[in-house]
Amino acid sequence: MINQAELGGTFQLPGTSLGVNRMGYGAMQLAGPQVWGPPHDVAAAIAVLREAVAAGVNHIDTSDFYGPHVTNQIIKRALHPYPDDLVIVTKVGARRGEDKSWLHALSRQHLIDSVHDNLRNLGLDWLDVVNLRVGGITEPSEGSIEEPLTVLAELKRQGLIRHIGVSNVTPKQLAEAQRITEIVCVQNFYNVAQRNDDGFVDDLARHGIAYVPFFPLGGFTPLQSSVLDAAAASLGATPMQVALAWLLQRSPNITLIPGTSSIEHLRENLNAAKLQLPSLVIGNLDAIGGGRGPGMASTLHARPDQ
């Protein structure tokens, strides 16, 4: 039996009956290279999902534009019929070009089609949480999100969506969204080295809204830092575990969706929830992020293979 405390405890999405273990799983890495087409080894992808759920993960982040369609189809194959407590969070607002590019898909028809694609490929009658994804690849851009969000709110009234979140947004856009419908989570780019949202995280914590960092391990350019390495060595952990533990200790409203296609990395990541970082180590790690400390330029370096 899995002890929820071992996955960082639970976070209740506001105004919902949905409690998610804070250590979840992000499914984007399950598609093929460049998040396009099927993976080399579908059985391995299925095994990762099954192992995550068997270990107590009850929050999986996905989208129908991963693959496209592929990731959701693998989730359905691996886990359907879904455990009662599994919360699958998907996102709409983007689509893939034939050249594998990432394009906006924020028109009324695109959003309706995307919700139906998610329902069909996941094998669901309704979606627990749908994030409206706006902005650029990694950064939000100001501008009204009223039109697309109103469409999602309509689909929520129709019963196709239970709850709504937003992704890649600014605090101003969140405020606009909250005037249209209740927002249960924000999914933005944030990790130990990417700290632009520090104030936003704290504001959301005060309002009980989940903050779900995407690229918690650096995404397509996984984190590498001598400070992370030193912290990991001192704790008998790995640098990725330290990066995840730092997020869990950063704020109680942070829930994690690290992505991996590897069972070994999955196990390593889940075990990060058991790691307690001493305050001295947290102080050192804080110096990595966002140019806040003197260490930023000298401690972060790109992976040689990137």
Residues that bind ligand NAP (CB under 6 A): 26-29, 61, 91, 133, 167-168, 187, 214-219, 222, 240, 257-262, 265, 268-269
Please list, in sequence order, all residues whose beta carbon lies within 8 angstroms of the beta carbon of residue 53, skipping any fewer than 6 positions away.
79, 83, 86
**Torsion from C-alpha of 9, 79, 84, 93, nearest 10 degrees:** 80
Q: Please, what is the minimum distance in Å from the beta carbon of residue 214 to ligand NAP? A: 3
Q: Sign of the CA dihedral 181, 187, 192, 197?
A: negative
C-alpha of 233 from chain center: 27
| E runs forming strands in 140-228 | 161-167, 183-187, 210-211
Active site residues: 66
Q: Please, what is the minimum distance in Å from the beta carbon of residue 283 to ligand NAP? A: 23
C-beta closer to ligand NAP: residue 157 or 213: 213
C-beta closer to ligand NAP: residue 71 or 299: 71
DSSP state of 35: G
Cα–Cα distance measured from residue 204 to residue 198, given in angstroms and rounded to the nearest whole number = 10
**Torsion from C-alpha of 284, 289, 294, 295, nearest 10 degrees:** 60
Q: Please, what is the minimum distance in Å from the beta carbon of residue 164 to ligand NAP? A: 14
C-beta closer to ligand NAP: residue 250 or 294: 250
Q: Please, what is the minimum distance in Å from the beta carbon of residue 158 to ligand NAP? A: 24
